Amino acid sequence: MSYKASGLRAWVVQRITAIYIGLMFVYLLGKFMFAAPASAAEFQGWATGPVVSVALLLLVAAVLVHAWVGVRDILIDYVWATALRVTLLSLLALFLIACGFWAAQVLIVAQIA
Amino acid sequence: MKFIVFRFNPDTDTTPRMQEYDIEVTRGMMLRDALMEVKRQDESFSFRHSCGEGVCGSDGVNANGTNVLGCITQVADLKEPITIRPLPGRPVVRDLVVDMSQFYQQYRAVKPYLIRKDPLPEQEILQSPEDRDKLDGLYECIMCGCCSTACPSFWWNPDKFHGPQALLQSWRFLADSRDQATEERLDALEGPYKLFRCHTIMNCVEVCPKHLNPTKAIGHIKELMLKHAI
Amino acid sequence: MSLTKRRFDALIIGAGGAGLNAATQLANADARVAVVSKVFPTRSHTVAAQGGVNAALANVLPDNWHWHMFDTVKGSDYLGDQDAIEFMCREAIPTVYQLEHNGVPFSRLDNGKIYQRAFGGQSQNFGGAQAARTCAAADRTGHAILHALYQQNVRARTHFFDEYFAIDLIRDDEGAILGALVLEIETGEPLLIEAKATLLATGGCGQVFRTTSNAHINTGDGMAMALRAGVPLMDMEFFQFHPTGIAGKGMLITEGVRGEGGYLINKDGERFMERYAPNAKDLASRDVVSRAIVTEVKEGRGVGPNGDHVLLKVDHLGEDIISKRLPGIRESSKIFAGVDPVVEPIPVFPTAHYVMGGIPTDRYGRVVTPIQNGPEEVVPGLYAAGECACVSVHGANRLGGNSLLDILVFGRAAGQDIIKYLKENPNHRPMNETGVEQAMSRLTRWEQKGEGLSVREVRDEFRKAMEDHAGVFRTDEIMSEGVEKVKEIRKKLADVRLTDHSDVFNTARVEALELENMVDIGMSIVLSALERKESRGAHSRPDYTERDDTNWLKHSLYFQEGDKIDFKPVHTKPLTVETFPPKARVY
């Protein structure tokens, strides 16, 4: 890894996460339109199944990474002052990490219950 | 026909102004002809032009908001009044003349020349017609600058993003079966700026007067990079 | 005002094929070289060359350099110097390979070799069947070559002065050239560039004619600078009119169109070249085809409402060939003539294209002039190459595909000889301050204010006069009138005033300086043409219809001082082979 921020890796990651998000979006849309869980318990049962729960965890991770790359791109384009850009990137990172913890917490709590 | 032309002479003006000219349009008149008419009326008007047939790339200007090559743009195809401005995003030297040095710097940065490591044969380096065909749509670039100065990514980061013109050139050499510096060329394009500021906005493709496709070339570079990375 | 000065080993004025090829040699030999160009290098007019560059590679049909030499001598109507022609035709082969190694994207044959097409005036076996000698990158060969050469200079980190206009050469009392005064167009600041050797590579002067295939920048600046430095211009009466310019506009339609199988027809649909050149037909030499077209039109067989042009038929080649081999032509025809050659023929008429004459040089690119002993003494420190020079390899008529060859071979030769010259002359000579003042006065003259004629009106009058009086057919009467007109215009120059005196990117001032150059050259053309009382190559006189080898097998030299014409012998002896003696020239 060079000292420079990556170009190719970010680009590839953005595309891979986009594909995964797209596929999951189609799946979830289908699920909730045609086979929506009737009750909270049923929903919990579905969401905590071994396959679905991993898929959902991955989805959260993909959304976070995708957002990181995308927003970083926008900041690189429009924010040139180094201090401001670093601050904004840090805030973004904090926000995304917080979101990640929160989502993980929700999913894990559901799993335990 | 009414022409509204951007005027600025740093020797005499403090701010740019738009000046109106009435030009008699003849059949088949090109925008360059009209600008030459403007110059006949007003000697103090400056713009670059030379070959008059779309091969030298001197007279890129912005007509009614779109970058065009003056000598191959029919006046009849433009809506009256025709507003002529310099290519956007570049410092104006005078009137329609802009400072293109950053654009040329980006061109030089991609090492736009054939790099060969093997000893050279006494005759030509052989190349199949199929391999040669891969250079079509790449080597024809006349460096008019219409594409790069229409590219928002180039406006934001002209010092770091190579821009569509230079990247098209980069691919012209990557695509050349005779070139032997693929790794170095790809390595040099790594990082978030030089190549990856392209967000496939495709303004470059829309304005290219030679109908070339820099966006596609950039896509090819990314694919090749990926191939080499995995 | 103190004048900024820069010092280099070598100064190259002009960044077309000749200048850039010389610069590559020098930069790679670690000489400090400055290239001055009034436009960014890739805007130079080499970029517009379409068809290709000749070299006897024999990739398509049997060929060798000796046949190429014969064709060039014959094409020159025996006025070309046979030693220089032999040198060029031999050098052609390594030159094209060098270009290919430099990255030029030549079109290819199935076996991977460089594609070669047929061009006018080419034959196998000394006048036999048609040869295919022109190496092509589709119909954008000049573009491909110019860009590759510029790229080589990017690699060699050559020092470029882009958008600097050369005002005048500086000469010392011994006649040696010390460099040049140039003008930075962007700031309006003059700059003195001192150099041990100076190469003029400023290209042609087609802008002296109203209808021309040449770019706005082709104003013959280097030739005019040479004239003012006391160097004569040689063979200026020989100006090539390319047979196929887009009618009424002048943009070029390459000879390659006829090389690929296109042909000319008149209003009756007749393939008239069969009458004028039964063997070579449409691929006869350019002067022959141009005269044929003008004759057809004069005799009432022209096409169009005014019967003022002929047609170039291409559609029978099919869309495949046209798109692959002639894509640029198809585009130009659509844009400028409003016709798609795939379905309709292209309206064409001869257009002023190329000056065979120029600054006299030897085959090393050294400028030679009669000084004291003999007609060819070297001017110390001055070189010329490309269209502005006259080696002479084109004589009275240039063959298609030999122009790119000329600039490359002699650009390189000049670069090589400069390297040698720099070794023998390691020091700058002292600057001649009077010379600098003289050159400065050429610039300051345009600071004069007040009422006067405009550059525009004098330029229009001049270019019209040249077109009317130095065109394809020239009689004594027409040309004498032309001489008077040009003399009149030359006088008027003193009354021309600029209204724009600003410094930054003042193109009006540049155009004024260019006008002075063009008028100086126009004079050399009309006077040399009036003097030559024979028909040879591109110089065609209805009052002297025959070539006269007894009296006129000689080069003309025009000196600006006193508008004097002198002559010098043709080099009829080649380097190693037998002389090709003058013969009747039929195609």
Q: Identify the pLDDT of residue C47.
A: 97
**Residue B16: its H or E element:** none
Chains touching chain B through at least 3 C-beta pairs below 8 angstroms are: A, C
- Is there a contact between B124 and C140 if contact means CB atoms under 8 Å apart? no
The domain spans of chain B are 2-98, 101-229
Whether A2 shows a pLDDT value over 50: the answer reads: no
B229 contact residues in A (CB cutoff 8 A): 8, 12
Q: To the nearest whole angstrom, how far is the Cα of B111 from the nearest Cα of chain C?
A: 7
C140, C171, C228, C286: the active-site residue: C286
- Is there a contact between B193 and A7 if contact means CB atoms under 8 Å apart? yes
Q: Identify the pLDDT of residue A4.
A: 53
- Is there a contact between B104 and C40 if contact means CB atoms under 8 Å apart? yes
Q: To the nearest whole angstrom, how far is the Cα of B47 from the nearest Cα of chain C?
A: 8
Q: Search chain B and give the residue with CA nearest C510.
A: B46
Instruction: List, as ranges, residues 26-55 from B with C-beta within 8 Å of C.
Output: 28, 39-40, 43-44, 46-55
- Is there a contact between B197 and A12 if contact means CB atoms under 8 Å apart? no
DSSP secondary structure letters along C426-484: -SPPPP-HHHHHHHHHHHHGGG--SS-B-HHHHHHHHHHHHHHHSSSB--HHHHHHHHH
CATH number of C240-354: 3.90.700.10
Q: Which residues face C382 on adjacent strands?
A: C198
Q: To the nearest whole angstrom, how far is the Cα of B196 from the nearest Cα of chain A?
A: 6
CATH number of B2-98: 3.10.20.30
Average pLDDT score over residue span B74-87:
96
- 3-state SS class at C100: helix
For chains A and B, count residue pairs whose Cβ atoms are closer than 8 Å.
43
B195 contact residues in A (CB cutoff 8 A): 7
The CATH number corresponding to B101-229 among 1.10.1060.10, 3.40.190.10, 1.10.3720.10, 3.20.20.120 equals 1.10.1060.10
**Using CB atoms within 10 A of its CB, is residue C248 exposed (0-12), middle (13-18) or buried (19+)?**
middle
**Using CB atoms within 10 A of its CB, is residue C490 exposed (0-12), middle (13-18) or buried (19+)?**
middle
C-alpha separations of B120 from B125, C98, C136, C391, C411 in Å = 8, 10, 21, 31, 22
What pLDDT digit, counting tens, does each position of C168-211 carry?
A: 999 999 999 999 999 999 999 999 999 999 999 999 999 999 99
In a domain, A105, yes or no: yes
Average pLDDT score over residue span C484-498:
97
Q: To the nearest whole angstrom, how far is the Cα of C405 from the nearest Cα of chain B?
A: 17
In chain C, % of residues over pLDDT 70: 100
Whether B211 shows a pLDDT value over 50: the answer reads: yes
C and A make contact (3+ CB pairs below 8 Å): no
The more confidently predicted of residues C15 and A79 is C15
**Best of B114, B118, B177 to disrupt the C interface by mutation (most C CBs within 10 Å)?**
B114
DSSP secondary structure letters along A6-23: PSHHHHHHHHHHHHHHHH
Q: Identify the pLDDT of residue A36.
A: 87
CATH code: domain of residue A101: 1.20.1300.10
Give the nearest partner residue to A4 out of B156, B190, B197, using CB atoms: B190
Average pLDDT score over residue span C370-387:
94
Instruction: List, as ranges, residues 108-127 from B with C-beta within 8 Å of C.
Output: 108, 111-114, 116, 120, 122-127
- Is there a contact between B58 and C48 if contact means CB atoms under 8 Å apart? no
- 3-state SS class at C55: coil
Chains touching chain A through at least 3 C-beta pairs below 8 angstroms are: B
B153 contact residues in A (CB cutoff 8 A): 77
User: Into how many domains does chain A fold?
Assistant: 1
Q: Could you count the other beta carbons within 10 Å of the beta carbon of residue A113?
A: 7
Give the nearest partner residue to B140 out of C114, C140, C505, using CB atoms: C140
- Is there a contact between C47 and B129 if contact means CB atoms under 8 Å apart? no
Q: How confident is the model at residue A3 (pLDDT cuts 50, 70, 90)?
A: very low
Whether A44 shows a pLDDT value over 90: the answer reads: no
C-alpha separations of C424 from C10, C136, C418, C427, C560 in Å = 13, 39, 10, 9, 31
The domain spans of chain C are 240-354
Q: How confident is the model at residue C329 (pLDDT cuts 50, 70, 90)?
A: very high
Average pLDDT score over residue span C460-489:
95
In a domain, A1, yes or no: no
Query: What is the predicted ipTM?
Result: 0.97
In a domain, A2, yes or no: no
What pLDDT digit, counting tens, does each position of B97-149 carry?
A: 999 999 999 999 999 999 999 999 999 999 999 999 999 999 999 999 999 99
Q: Search chain A and give the residue with CA nearest B221.
A: A8
Tally of residues, chain A: 113
- Is there a contact between C504 and B44 if contact means CB atoms under 8 Å apart? no
Q: Considering only CA atoms, which of C267, C298, C271 is closest in space to residue C542?
A: C298
A76 contact residues in B (CB cutoff 8 A): 157, 192-193, 197
Q: Find out whether the peptide bond into C345 is cis, omega within 30 degrees of 0.
A: no
Q: Give chain A's radius of gyration (CA, Å).
A: 17
Average pLDDT score over residue span B30-34:
97
What pLDDT digit, counting tens, does each position of C110-119 carry?
A: 999 999 999 9
Q: Which residues contact C315 (CB under 8 A, 6 or more apart)?
A: C341, C342, C343, C344, C345
Whether A1 shows a pLDDT value over 60: the answer reads: no
Which stretches within C218-285 are classed as H helix? Answer: 221-228, 256-259, 273-276
Q: Is C330 a catalytic residue?
A: no
**Residue C294: its H or E element:** helix C286-298
Which stretches within C4-157 are classed as H helix? Answer: 17-28, 65-75, 82-101, 141-156
Q: Considering only CA atoms, which of C68, C75, C179 is closest in space to residue C125?
A: C68
- Is there a contact between A77 and B226 if contact means CB atoms under 8 Å apart? no
Q: To the nearest whole angstrom, how far is the Cα of A92 from the nearest Cα of chain B?
A: 18
The Cα B102–Cα B122 span in angstroms is 38
Q: Identify the pLDDT of residue C506.
A: 97
Give the nearest partner residue to B195 out of A2, A7, A12, using CB atoms: A7
Give the nearest partner residue to B132 out of C97, C105, C251, using CB atoms: C105
Whether C310 shows a pLDDT value over 60: the answer reads: yes
Q: How confident is the model at residue C1 (pLDDT cuts 50, 70, 90)?
A: low
Whether C277 shows a pLDDT value over 80: the answer reads: yes
A and B make contact (3+ CB pairs below 8 Å): yes
- Is there a contact between C40 and B55 if contact means CB atoms under 8 Å apart? no
Q: To the nearest whole angstrom, how far is the Cα of B107 from the nearest Cα of chain C?
A: 10
Whether A113 shows a pLDDT value over 70: the answer reads: no
The Cα A5–Cα C9 span in angstroms is 44
CA dihedral C55, C60, C61, C65 (to 10 degrees): 10
- Is there a contact between A4 and B192 if contact means CB atoms under 8 Å apart? yes
Angle between helices C507-531 and C455-469 (to 10 degrees): 20
What is chain C's mean pLDDT, rounded?
96
Residue B91 contacts C where some CB pair is shorter than 8 Å? no
Q: Identify the pLDDT of residue C199.
A: 98
What is the residue range of A96's domain?
Answer: 8-112
- Is there a contact between B56 and C499 if contact means CB atoms under 8 Å apart? no
Q: Which tokens hold the place of C551?
A: 């009296």
Q: To the nearest whole angstrom, how far is the Cα of B152 from the nearest Cα of chain A?
A: 9
CA dihedral C527, C532, C533, C534 (to 10 degrees): -140
The Cβ-side half-sphere exposure at C318, using a 13 Å CA radius, reads: 3
- Is there a contact between C251 and B53 if contact means CB atoms under 8 Å apart? yes
What pLDDT digit, counting tens, does each position of C39-91 carry?
A: 999 999 999 999 999 999 999 999 999 999 999 999 999 999 999 999 999 99
**Using CB atoms within 10 A of its CB, is residue C61 exposed (0-12), middle (13-18) or buried (19+)?**
middle
Q: How confident is the model at residue B59 (pLDDT cuts 50, 70, 90)?
A: very high
Q: Could you count the other beta carbons within 10 Å of the beta carbon of residue C340?
A: 16
